[in-house]
C-alpha cells in the first residue's frame, strides 16, 4: 500500500484571466483534460497535494479549507477564485 492513499488529491489549476480552480480528484491529469474541455481559456496545472496516510487531513478537507480561505475572491463558479499563483506561493511542477 502506498503512503499516498488518503483518497482524492487536492489540486490547483489556473487560467490566463487570473482565476484559479481548487478541487479534488483521484487523477489530476485526467481532471485537467476534463476541465480544459469545458473552458474556453487554456487551463494550466499549478500543483496537487501528496498527502501521506499520516497527514493531518485528507485532500477533501484541504480543499474545503482552501475554499473557505479564498471565499472573498470567489468567482461566479464555486471552485474558481480570482487570485494569482504568486498569492498561492508560485508555480509548482507536478
Q: Is residue 48 part of a domain?
A: yes
In a domain, 3, yes or no: no
**pTM of the predicted model as reported, rounded to 2 decimal places:** 0.75
pLDDT grade for 94, boundaries at 50, 70 and 90: very low
- The average pLDDT across 22-40 equals 92
What is the chain's length?
Answer: 94
Residue 88 belongs to some domain of the structure:
no
Report d(CA 47, CA 53) in Å as an integer. Answer: 19
* Non-local CB neighbours of 25 within 8 Å, separated by 6+ positions: 8, 9, 11, 31
Residue 15's domain comprises 9-82
Is pLDDT above 50 for 31? yes
Work out the average pLDDT over 19-29: 89
Number of domains in the chain: 1
Between 5 and 22, the more confident residue is: 22
Amino acid at each position: 500500500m502506498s503512503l499516498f492513499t488518503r483518497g482524492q488529491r487536492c489540486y490547483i489549476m489556473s487560467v490566463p484571466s487570473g482565476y484559479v480552480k481548487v478541487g479534488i480528484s483521484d487523477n489530476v491529469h485526467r481532471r485537467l483534460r476534463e476541465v480544459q474541455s469545458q473552458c474556453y481559456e487554456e487551463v494550466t496545472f499549478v500543483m496537487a497535494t501528496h498527502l501521506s496516510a499520516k497527514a493531518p487531513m485528507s485532500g477533501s478537507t484541504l480543499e474545503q479549507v482552501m475554499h473557505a480561505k479564498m471565499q472573498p475572491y470567489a468567482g461566479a463558479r464555486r471552485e474558481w477564485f480570482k487570485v494569482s499563483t504568486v498569492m498561492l506561493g508560485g508555480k509548482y511542477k507536478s
